[in-house]
Amino acid sequence: MPDADKGNVGISRDVVTSIAGIAISEIDGIANLRPGDTAFRRGEGMKRHVDTNVDGDAVTVTARLTVIYGFPILKVARQVQERIKSEIERMTGLQVRAVNVDVQKLVRDGERTEEKGDEWDEGGEQG
Amino acid sequence: MAEKRIEITDETGRVTIADEVIASIARIAAERVTGISRSAGTAGGIKGIFGGDDAGVSVKTELANEQARVELRIAVEYGYAVHAVAGSVQENVQKDIEKLAGVTVSSVDVYVKKVVPPQTHEAGRA
């Protein structure tokens, strides 16, 4: 945590969301967030896939993902959870309380996901 | 009761797999079987040549007690033994869902609703 003598450092929710999004893109088997994929979205667009809730020093992240056929879904989801948690904690010093992963779709490798992009706006079945 | 998704929670958080994901696995697994007719519409191509979605695979899934029940409607290409194709579909679908989603499959029902002319495998595929 920053030294109080030097003033405060605030980290916006967007920063945490971006870190989560980039962390996801580093995992194999995710269709809609791969680097180089035209559907790879950072910044604003990332909010379609990642919800971040910062409560004091505690962060809860929910990621909505499309997995590529052939990859073991639970293993991919676990990797996403671990990567998001470790990257956010390493980069921001915030405590990650939970990472929720909702696997919403599955596509063949190479199948375009962006043409279905609008469906993501509804935000799935988030309560 | 039927659920809309599989949910697994541990100390890291919650992982859910939507029933739509199970259905997609089933559809892709079925379409990989030789002799199965794939819908011309899936790639946004020409629909309706052989009667639209009738020529493809349609899937219904039901999740209950951490188990999946799958119902598929398939079309078989002319020339293939229907029972053999349907049997391979059952096998593939069960194997893929259990391997990829980690969900036990209680049953795979297959209805063969149509026989279609052999496909050229070039119409509007991605």
Return the structure tokens found at A71.
């990859």
Q: Tell me what percent of the residues of chain B surpass a pLDDT of 90.
A: 64
Lowest mean pLDDT among B52-56, B83-87, B105-109: B52-56
Residue that the structure tokens 């409607």 belong to: B73
Q: Report the distance separating Cα A10 and Cα A7, nearest Å.
A: 10
pLDDT in tens, A10-60: 888 889 999 999 899 889 999 865 544 444 455 556 677 899 999 888 999
Element (H, E) at B88: helix B82-96
So what's the pLDDT on residue A13? 87
Q: Closest partner residue to B28 among A69, A74, A101, by Cβ?
A: A69
Cα A61 from chain centre? 7
Chain-chain contact of A112 with B24 (C-beta, under 8 angstroms): no
> How does DSSP classify residue A35?
T
A110 touching B (Cβ < 8 Å): yes
| CB A58, CB A94: distance < 8 Å | yes
Residue A114 confidence class, pLDDT cut points 50, 70, 90 = very low
User: Which of A2, A5, A3, A123 shows the shortest CA–CA distance to A62?
Assistant: A123
Question: Is the separation of the CB atoms in A106 and A66 below 8 Å?
Answer: yes
Helix, coil or strand: residue B87: helix
Can you give the pLDDT at residue A10?
80
CB nearest B126 (choices: A67, A77, A110): A110
Rounded Cα gap, residues B11 and A97, in angstroms? 9
Q: Are B21 and A106 in contact (CB under 8 A)?
A: yes
So what's the pLDDT on residue B121? 55
Contact B12 A111 (CB under 8 A): no
Tokens of B52: 């639209």
The pTM of this model reads 0.78
Cβ contacts (< 8 Å) between B14 and chain A: which residues? 98, 100-101
Q: Which pLDDT score is estimated for A115?
A: 40
- Percent of chain B residues topping a pLDDT of 70: 79
- Tell me the ipTM for this assembly: 0.78
| Residue of B15, B98, B104 to mutate, testing the A interface (most A Cβ within 10 Å of its Cβ) | B15
A122 at the B interface (CB within 8 A)? no
Q: Does A105 touch chain B (CB under 8 A)?
A: yes
Report d(CA B56, CA B38) in Å as an integer: 4
B15 vs B2, more confident:
B15
Q: Hey, are the CB atoms on A72 and B4 less than 8 Å from each other?
A: no
Measured between beta carbons, which residues in chain B are less than 8 angstroms from residue A81?
A: 12-13, 15
- CA atoms within 13 A of residue A50's CA, in its CB half-sphere: 31
Q: Per residue in B18-34, pLDDT tens?
A: 999 999 999 999 999 99
User: Nearest CB to A99: which of B12, B17, B99?
Assistant: B12
